[in-house]
């Protein structure tokens, strides 16, 4: 995506040669807030705080249906704190290892697809849940109350839909044979222990992350010991980050404090920041800023966004992904509500709708490499996964578009 955004930025320079106006393209508040969110989330993740919390939640559930709900809803919760892509990077390997250990391997495609939907759609309720939200919150100078009121309806529909779909899909395999339920319960009881402490589970989780290719954030085999003092320090940094997001604290002050503190506490967290994502944003700022200065494009796209902003933003997300769609279309409209809702629900639909969905596909294909017993299961074929992904994502997109358009 960085390469594509860089090519797009350079190509746009042909139409609008570089000049002093370029400096106005860059939204320093968005880049600064995104850096702070990614840095603090990386520090907590490398410390193992998110992993321990997820394992604790998962270990409390004993049936296939409740286990699937725990995995999906934990992903949704983490997306509100650590952004959607990091939530998936953390939870997908854990989910695969847990479901295989619980003898619920057939649930992997459904759980993975639902985790992708949960990460992309449930994180929309907070400004820092998705990168496009951080940008739009800063670009339009939104107030938290206005943001929450705008996103409440699509968020509620998404949560209800994710829970209902998980409840239905996770319950289907257990109805085939009575003996399967007993085996599943016994398997999950064994998985409870393995999820929390067994080296085999940790090795499987690390292997899935490695097989999926270089992730956005490095996956440590063994997190550092959980220090309450360090955890408290990261909590303070998270609070400072939120104050900066909500414009209580100057973003420059937050960036300096977060960078200096992590340089002392854990330099790995700074290295683990998704720097390509920040560079991608910078390239999109150049690309969108140049296109906004083309009179013919502004004359055509401006009225189109004013009349059909929700549909255009959701549709553009299906082709160029929701983050670049948000950056581009924000230059052509002052009606931020349909744009904000459109690029968020546009995270559903195609694999390109949200780049976090590609992380899900990448981790799914890696499961077959790590667990040989899955290679002969038709339910774990890539074709089956893509069919299920498309069916559920398109259904969510259509329902959200119809309801949000009718309730405008």
Residue 177 has pLDDT above 50, yes or no: no
Backbone angles phi, psi at 316, to 5 degrees: -60, -35
pLDDT score of 36? 92
Contact criterion met (CB below 8 Å) for 342 and 310:
yes
- Extract the tokens encoding 33: 């807030």
Which of 254, 344, 203, 340 lies closest to 36, judged by CA? Answer: 254
Which of 56, 121, 59, 127 lies closest to 87, judged by CA? Answer: 121
pLDDT-based confidence at 204, cuts 50/70/90?
low
Q: Cα dihedral sign for 116, 121, 127, 133? A: positive
Instruction: Using a pLDDT cut of 90, give the percent of the chain over it.
Output: 43
Q: Between these two residues, 172 and 298, which has the higher pLDDT value? A: 298
Which of 172, 163, 171, 158 lies closest to 124, judged by CA? Answer: 158
Residue 188 has pLDDT above 90, yes or no: no
Q: How many CB atoms lie within 10 A of CB 263?
A: 11
> How many Å apart are CA 58 and CA 188, to the nearest integer?
10
> How many Å apart are CA 266 and CA 86, to the nearest integer?
18
Statement: the pTM of the whole predicted model exceeds 0.75: yes
110 burial type by CB count under 10 A (0-12 exposed, 13-18 middle, 19+ buried): buried
pLDDT-based confidence at 224, cuts 50/70/90?
low
pLDDT score of 149? 96
pLDDT score of 189? 45
**DSSP conformational letter for 366:** H
Backbone angles phi, psi at 273, to 5 degrees: -60, 140
Q: What is the pLDDT of residues 312-362, one digit of tens each?
A: 999 999 988 898 899 999 999 999 999 999 999 999 999 989 888 888 998
> How many Å apart are CA 143 and CA 166, to the nearest integer?
33
Q: How many CB atoms lie within 10 A of CB 226?
A: 12
Q: What is the arithmetic mean of pLDDT over 181-204?
A: 47
Report, in this order, helix, strand and coil percent for the chain, each rounded to 5.
80, 0, 20
Average pLDDT of every residue of the chain: 84
Q: What is the secondary structure of 137-202 as a DSSP string?
A: HHHTT--HHHHHHHHHHHHHHHHHHHHHHHHHHHHSGGGS-HHHHHHHHHHHHHHHHHHHT-HHHH
Contact criterion met (CB below 8 Å) for 273 and 42:
yes
Question: Could you tell me which residues come within 8 angstroms of residue 268 by beta carbon, excluding any fewer than 6 positions away?
Answer: 42, 46, 218
Backbone angles phi, psi at 336, to 5 degrees: -75, -25
Residue 176 has pLDDT above 90, yes or no: no
Which of 340, 362, 348 lies closest to 408, judged by CA? Answer: 340
pLDDT score of 213? 59
Give domain limits for the chain. Answer: 12-406
Contact criterion met (CB below 8 Å) for 162 and 72:
yes
Q: Between these two residues, 81 and 58, which has the higher pLDDT value? A: 81
Nearest-10 Cα torsion for 182, 187, 191, 194: 140
Q: How many CB atoms lie within 10 A of CB 374?
A: 18
Contact criterion met (CB below 8 Å) for 227 and 266:
no
> How many Å apart are CA 359 and CA 346, to the nearest integer?
17
**CA angle, corner 312, sides to 307 and 314, nearest 5?**
135
Query: Counting every residue, how long is the chain?
Result: 408
pLDDT score of 274? 87
């Amino acid at each position: 995506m960085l390469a594509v955004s860089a090519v797009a930025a350079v190509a746009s320079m042909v139409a609008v040669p570089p000049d002093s106006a370029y400096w106005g393209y860059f939204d320093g508040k968005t880049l600064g807030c995104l850096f702070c969110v990614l840095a603090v989330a990386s520090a907590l993740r490398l410390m193992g705080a998110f992993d321990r919390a997820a394992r604790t939640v998962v270990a409390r559930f004993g049936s296939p249906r409740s286990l699937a709900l725990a995995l999906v809803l934990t992903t949704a919760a983490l997306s509100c704190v650590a952004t959607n892509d990091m939530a998936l990077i953390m939870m997908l390997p854990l989910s695969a290892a847990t479901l295989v250990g619980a003898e619920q391997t057939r649930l992997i495609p459904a759980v993975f697809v639902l985790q992708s939907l949960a990460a992309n759609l449930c994180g929309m309720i907070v400004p820092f849940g998705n990168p496009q939200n951080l940008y739009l919150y800063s670009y339009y100078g939104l107030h938290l109350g206005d943001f929450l009121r705008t996103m409440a309806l699509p968020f509620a529909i998404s949560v209800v839909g994710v829970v209902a779909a998980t409840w239905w899909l996770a319950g289907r395999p257990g109805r085939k044979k009575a003996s399967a339920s007993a085996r599943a319960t016994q398997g999950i009881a064994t998985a409870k222990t393995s999820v929390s402490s067994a080296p085999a589970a940790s090795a499987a989780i690390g292997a899935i992350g490695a097989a999926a290719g270089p992730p956005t954030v490095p996956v440590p085999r063994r997190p550092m010991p959980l220090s309450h003092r360090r955890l408290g320090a990261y909590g303070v940094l998270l609070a400072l980050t939120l104050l900066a997001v909500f414009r209580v604290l100057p973003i420059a002050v937050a960036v300096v404090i977060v960078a200096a503190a992590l340089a002392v506490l854990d330099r790995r967290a700074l290295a683990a920041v998704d720097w390509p994502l920040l560079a991608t944003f910078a390239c999109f700022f150049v690309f969108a800023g140049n296109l906004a200065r083309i009179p013919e494009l502004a004359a055509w796209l401006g009225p189109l966004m004013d009349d059909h902003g929700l549909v255009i933003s959701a549709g553009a997300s299906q082709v160029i992904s929701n983050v670049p769609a948000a950056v581009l279309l924000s230059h052509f409209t002052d009606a931020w509500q349909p744009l904000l809702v459109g690029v968020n629900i546009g995270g559903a639909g195609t694999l390109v709708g949200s780049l976090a969905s590609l992380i899900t596909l990448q981790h799914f294909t890696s499961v077959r490499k790590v667990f040989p017993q899955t290679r002969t299961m038709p339910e774990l074929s890539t074709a089956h996964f893509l069919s299920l992904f498309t069916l559920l994502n398109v259904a969510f997109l259509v329902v959200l578009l119809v309801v949000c358009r009718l309730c405008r």
